[in-house]
Amino acid sequence: MTSADGIVRKPMDLDRAGVPEGEVHIITERCKECGYCIEYCPEKVLVYSKEINSRGYHFPMIAEDKATSCVLCKFCDLICPELAIYTTDASDDETQS
Amino acid sequence: MSTPQPNDFSVVHPIDHLMRADRLPHILCAGCGIGTVIHAYVRAIDESGTDPDQHVCVSGIGCSGRAAGYVNVDSYHSTHGRALPFALGIAVHNPSLTVTVISGDGDLMAIGGNHFIHAARRNVNLNVICINNFNYGMTGGQVGPTTPIGAKGTTAPQGSIEHPFNLPYLAKACGASFVARWTILHVRQFTDAILRSMDKDGFCFTEVLSPCPTSFGRRNKLGEGLDEVEMYRERCHIENGAENLQDLDIDIVDHEQPITVGNFVDIERTAFHA
Ligand code: SF4
Ligand code: SF4
Ligand code: SF4
């Protein structure tokens, strides 16, 4: 978070708020490879799979280096015409103090 | 996350309880925007916190007319053009219900056109979502009342020469209490428009521009669904409360022309109740 003038800016509540981390779930059999989730994910988390589902479509999967990049904006879920993808809060799975 | 596997049916979408999930995947084409609208509708029901039993979904004929068959609320797939009179009967008979019509531009504005103007004129308490893909998709791409001038269809291979309806202008002129236009890319905004419509008494109308790659996109060099949505991303500008609705015609040939979207009308006007 270094700006052009070299000043390091850090949000004051970074420690408290943090960036939400999402876990992506894909219902592969529903996907029709329209690409909306892949194209419009703001973090470019998703890529087309090499494998195909039973109807021949390449479904989305997490890009290799993006395992923890989902910010839980849910846009992939909202735009999907097939209800084939959704995200949950990854921190829900961990013990919170 | 675990690596997704082909043919895995074990993952259940959190909104599946409001869908007839056993019928998914639906029959709509890859890249068709209708699925996004159905999805947004059930999400709006969920977010509204109202009892799904208080909701009724009515649709007409055509690809968009399939909506009624996929949602897990009381629903009716009416005859061609008659979604509105059927929905009107429900809304007037039982005002406690939230009645939403999801149908296409051909069904609502051509054969159902008279029902549309009079339901809006009377300000019947209905939420109407018109999925506008500019053509009769199911029957192979004939031009209809919203086909932009110059756009091609099976019945206008050289391009349509008819003036189309400008739906937000029409709805406002007829007396609708709420009027919006969005595209499927603006899914958050039109989900909010649906929520507002559910809450509001009177005739509420939302047009959603939606790709039909199979019948319209292909003929009009718009490419796949993704290419058409990308065109919307580039050309749309949001102007909530826009006054000049008469200028909001959509040009599908000249890609330099902006497409105006937004929530345009939200007025108080006495609704029709029996
Ligand atoms: S929730 Fe947002 S950030 Fe996460 S994968 Fe979906 S679109 Fe990308
Ligand atoms: S938006 Fe849905 S149907 Fe389209 S590629 Fe993504 S998961 Fe598949
Ligand atoms: S023909 Fe067009 S409107 Fe009908 S399902 Fe296919 S893409 Fe959608």
B187-209 burial by CB neighbour count: b if 16+ within 10 A, else e? Answer: bbbbbbbbbbbbebebbbbbbbb
Give the number of the atom of ligand 3 that is nearest the alpha carbon of residue B133.
Answer: 3
Distance CA B193, CA B208 (A): 11
Q: Atom 5 of ligand 3 has which residue's CA nearest to it?
A: B28
DSSP string, A19-37: ---EEEEE-GGG-----HH
Q: What is the pLDDT of residue A20?
A: 84
Q: Please name the member of B31, B33, B39 whose beta carbon is closest to the beta carbon of A83.
A: B39
Centre of ligand 3 from the C-alpha of residue B128, in Å: 20
Report which of B112, B111, B53 is spatially closest to residue B87, judged by C-alpha positions. B112
- Residues of chain A with C-beta less than 8 angstroms from the C-beta of B8: 27-29
Report which of B27, B34, B28 is spatially closest to residue B209, judged by C-alpha positions. B34
Neighbours of A15 (CB within 10 A): 8
A45 Cβ inside 6 Å of ligand 1? yes
Q: What is the pLDDT of residue B51?
A: 98
Ligand 2 first shell, C-beta below 6 A: A 31-37, 59-60, 80, 82, 84-85
Is the Cβ–Cβ distance between A58 and B4 less than 8 Å? no
Please state the domain extents for chain B: 16-266
Which residues in chain B show pLDDT less than 70?
Answer: 1-11
Looking at CATH, the fold of the domain delimited by A20-96 is given as: Alpha-Beta Plaits (3.30.70)
Neighbours of B94 (CB within 10 A): 11
Say if the Cβ atoms of A81 and B39 lie within 8 Å: yes
Q: Please name the member of B1, B26, B33 whose beta carbon is closest to the beta carbon of A25.
A: B1
Say if the Cβ atoms of B6 and A36 lie within 8 Å: no
Centre of ligand 1 from the C-alpha of residue B120, in Å: 39
Which residue shows structure tokens 């521009």? B209
Dig out the tokens for A83 from the structure.
């209800």
Closest residue in B to A38 (Cα–Cα): B226
Say if the Cβ atoms of A59 and B4 lie within 8 Å: yes
Neighbours of B251 (CB within 10 A): 15
- The angle at the Cα of B152, spanning B129 to A80, to the nearest 5 degrees, equals 40
Closest residue in A to B36 (Cα–Cα): A81
CATH architecture of the domain formed by B16-266: 3-Layer(aba) Sandwich (3.40)
Dig out the tokens for B106 from the structure.
């051909």
Is the Cβ–Cβ distance between B26 and B19 less than 8 Å? no
* Amino acid type, A46: L
Neighbours of B17 (CB within 10 A): 12
Which residues in chain A show pLDDT less than 70?
Answer: 1-17, 93-97
Long-range (24+ apart) CB contacts under 8 A made by B230-236 are B230/A39, B231/B255, B232/B183, B232/B184, B232/B185, B232/B259, B233/B185, B235/B259, B236/B183, B236/B185, B236/B186, B236/B260, B236/B261
Say if the Cβ atoms of B225 and A36 lie within 8 Å: yes
Q: What is the pLDDT of residue A16?
A: 61
Distance CA B150, CA A82 (A): 32
Q: Answer yes or no: pTM beyond 0.90.
A: yes
Is the Cβ–Cβ distance between B65 and B26 less than 8 Å? no
Distance CA A21, CA B5 (A): 22
Which 3 state secondary structure label does DSSP give B13?
A: coil
Centre of ligand 1 from the C-alpha of residue A85, in Å: 10
Q: What is the mean pLDDT of chain B?
A: 95
Please state the domain extents for chain A: 20-96
